[in-house]
Amino acid sequence: MSLALPAGVRVDAPLHPRFDEILTPEALAFLAKLHRAFEPRRQELLKKRIERQTRIDAGEMPDFLPETKHIREGDWKIAPLPKALECRRVEITGPVERKMIINAFNSGADSYMTDFEDSNSPNWFNQVQGQVNMKDAIRRVISVESGGKTYKLNDEVATLQIRPRGWHLDEKHVRVDGGRVSGGIFDFALVFFHNAREQIARGAGPFYYLPKMESHLEARLWNDVFCMAQDELGIPRGTIKATVLIETILATFELEEILYELREHSAGLNAGRWDYIFSCIKKFKRNGDFCLANRSAITMEVPFMRSYALALIKACHKRGAPAIGGMSALIPIKNDPAANEKALAGIRHDKTRDAQDGFDGGWVAHPGLVGIAMEEFVKVLGARPNQWEKQREESFGQKDWLNFQPEQPITETGLRNNINVGIHYLGSWLAGNGCVPIHNLMEDAATAEISRSQVWQWVVSPKGKLDDGRKITAEMVKALIPEELAKVKAAVSAGGEKTATYDQAATIFEKMSLSPDYPEFLTLPLYEAME
């Protein structure tokens, strides 16, 4: 198989069956046009991230932007939403893998966010096969054979939303004029080009989720991409709707500004809790006063997380936008009724709190949890599709969002768990699986980032001490890694999986956890190592 490539476009990757349906000359020309128009701005914004991190490392603390005060104090709303996005009480998420797509569409959830980002290992095959899967799913012709059964879509399916990669990620296999294209624009451009008109004809789309933003200027870039994409295909501006994941501490200070920049295309905000915790650790990693307790102690009910969630609801409902709660990582547990009941009770508690606080819906990671989550939102919403009218009156700001508690406990069990989860997830990711059940939790790239970042920060921070008084050191971490690697390999082997990638994962985890210069994203060097 060979491709007819537009001028300036190069594809350095194998072509599997049906990839030519996605990588058409017209689609690649569309991608190249977006790249040429917006790549300089993307690079400029990534440079601004580095500059701001340098200032934070030197002691600067984030606060509201004085230059956007008029936006926060202005009288404006986002554009009206289409009927398909009015009811999002339960949203299910997962990677763009064929069987997962079918199960999620059929799950009974109101909405399904299919993921080219954190729950998807972004090797070349997964990214382009995911596009093939989307093309089939949107046209309702997707099916898969598994275990002697044929899986296909039901008559009633969830509303589709698609998450491309964040601004920081490249697609290394495709170059335009010699430079790599943005991973996010690659994912968006191809799925939009091939499917937008079909989604419009079916009355539900094109809808997106946007990850990892750190400022309203990054939202403005996405908005401009949307405008140009719609103009190029002759689609009215405002047809695209996108929900922004608020999963960085810096974005919390620009909630209303982000909604404002995307107001013609906005579908609200989502409280992306796991990446948010990672962002807090990453941004204040060199602050001697900052040190978070075990990951398990950082719940949605600790002060800085709770105030962030409530502020998101307030900002959204003030501006007529949906507020979507984040993911509880709990999943059903087979063959252990007591543990399963505890997990389900945790899901109920999480969704009850979110619904009562004012969220219009929340995420789950497993079809078996849709019913429980739906029950808790229906108890609060009744027959209403949402609670956009619920207004929160509290005031939130720097004192709330930077109140990083608790600092204790930090335990050997917590340290070991971070090492274990980090190695296990990385090994699976390298093998091509980005959504992994580990210790009865559904883990994705965000949890691996938390795991290695906490280890790094505990080693560096003077507060990084175990509850028995021992200081966490690089030597301690190096001694524990082989022990946890052995446990991971035993667990993987018991499940019938190969262990070939886990030694490499342990080496990478040690380097990323103990490097003197903290690597900004775990996935960047990992991506360079994969095909």
Active site positions, annotated = 163, 444
Return all residues near 429 (Cβ < 8 A) that are at least 6 apart: 121, 436, 445, 448, 505, 526
CA distance 262 to 220: 7
Return the SS3 of 384: coil
The crossing angle, in degrees rounded to 10, of helices 412-430 and 474-494 is 60
CA distance 69 to 65: 7
The half-sphere exposure of 144 on its side-chain side, counting CA atoms within 13 A, is 12
Maximum CA extent, the chain: 65
Q: DSSP character for 208?
A: E
Q: What is the DSSP string of 167-181?
A: TT-EEEEEEETTEEE
The crossing angle, in degrees rounded to 10, of helices 445-460 and 273-283 is 30
Return all residues near 157 (Cβ < 8 A) that are at least 6 apart: 105, 106, 112, 140
Q: What is the DSSP string of 132-157?
A: HHHHHHHTT--EEEETTEEEE--SS-
Q: How far is CA 522 from CA 34, 212, 240, 331, in A?
A: 27, 14, 31, 25
Instruction: Provide the 10 A C-beta neighbour count for residue 520.
Output: 14
Q: For Cα atoms 170, 36, 211, give the angle at the middle one, nearest 5 degrees.
A: 40
CA distance 286 to 462: 10
Among candidate residues 354, 361, 350, 363, the one with its CA nearest the CA of residue 384: 361
Q: What are the beta bridge partners of residue 113?
A: 93, 161
Among candidate residues 20, 82, 39, the one with its CA nearest the CA of residue 182: 39
CA distance 71 to 362: 27
Residue 436 backbone class (left: φ over 0; alpha: ψ -120 to 50; beta: rest): beta
Residues in the chain, how many?
Answer: 531
Among candidate residues 200, 301, 215, the one with its CA nearest the CA of residue 253: 215
CB 239 within 8 A of CB 199: no
The half-sphere exposure of 358 on its side-chain side, counting CA atoms within 13 A, is 23
Q: How far is CA 389 from CA 79, 91, 121, 313, 392, in A?
A: 16, 20, 39, 11, 10
Sign, CA dihedral 408-413-416-418, equals negative
